[in-house]
Amino acid sequence: MRNTIWTAVCAAAAVLWAAVLSGCSDGGDGGSSPSPSPTKKEGTVQVRSSDLGRILVDGTGRTLYLFEADKSSRSTCEGGCAQAWPPVVVKGKAEPEAGTGARSELLGTGEREGGERQVTYDGHPLYRYEGDEKPGDTEGQGLDQFGAEWFVLDPSGKKITREEKEKKPSKKPRQTDGGY
């Protein structure tokens, strides 16, 4: 009787251990196919056409912005600002990559508070906007938040100041710094 219980416990433990190992083996979530590596797309800058003309986007097609308060390659957007306007960063020793239409000689990095490396283009730290719901959205264009304005960039790294043709109102409430 004792051997039967011990054998059942060992068999159950072996099955459980095999399930744990198979769930961890692909770095995934227990059986689904692994997701694409975010590191390649995180630091990729490319060019896409939009209602504002040709603009910079990240590796997933999301619009990239500059913050006019940044006067160098070092970001001034921290805390709540960085939550509404997530910085584009590269991990470890990774370097930003120029995708279609972007100029590799304009890419660089600037150090953020805390040591992260933020991708820059023509010296401007780059950000995404949380109010952009999908690739191609430019809801952040021309917003005045956290003490300065936000603009998309053209392939030469210059801000685009015109507004979209027939800009539709955002369905998402925009976060502000609460200042008047």
Rounded percentage of the chain residues whose pLDDT exceeds 70: 68
Q: Tell me the per-residue pLDDT of 123-132, one tens digit each, with 9 for 90 and over.
A: 999 999 999 9
Which helix (H) or strand (E) segment is 108 a member of?
A: strand 107-111
Tally Cβ neighbours within 10 Å of residue 171.
Answer: 8
pLDDT at residue 36 is higher than 50: no
- Tell me what pLDDT residue 29 has: 39
User: What is d(CA 40, CA 96) in angstroms, rounded to the nearest whole number?
Assistant: 8
Least confident of 3-7, 73-77, 146-150: 3-7
14 neighbors 21 (Cβ within 8 angstroms): no
pLDDT at residue 9 is higher than 80: no
Q: Where do runs of H (alpha helix) occur along 70-152?
A: 80-84
Region of 31 on the Ramachandran plot (φ > 0 left; ψ -120 to 50 alpha; else beta): left
Which helix (H) or strand (E) segment is 90 a member of?
A: strand 89-90
- Highest mean pLDDT among 9-23, 39-53, 104-118 belongs to 104-118
What is the overall mean pLDDT for the chain? 79
User: What is d(CA 109, CA 95) in angstroms, rounded to the nearest whole number?
Assistant: 8
Q: Tell me the per-residue pLDDT of 69-80, one tens digit each, with 9 for 90 and over.
A: 999 999 999 999
Query: Would you report the helix, strand and coil content of the chain in percent, each value rounded to 5?
Result: 20, 25, 55
Tell me which of 13 and 163 has the higher pLDDT.
163
- The SS3 assignment for 4 reads helix
Q: Across residues 169-173, what is the average pLDDT? A: 49
Q: Across residues 95-113, what is the average pLDDT? A: 96
Instruction: Find the distance separating the first CA and the last CA of the chain, reported in whole Å.
Output: 78
- Tell me what pLDDT residue 163 has: 73
H helix and E strand count, the chain: 3, 10
124 neighbors 157 (Cβ within 8 angstroms): yes
Q: Which two tokens stand for residue 15?
A: 């099955």
Confidence of residue 164 (pLDDT cuts 50, 70, 90): low
Tell me which of 26 and 49 has the higher pLDDT.
49
Query: How far is CA 46 from each of CA 17, 63, 146, 153, rounded to the nearest angstrom?
Result: 44, 10, 26, 11
pLDDT at residue 51 is higher than 80: yes
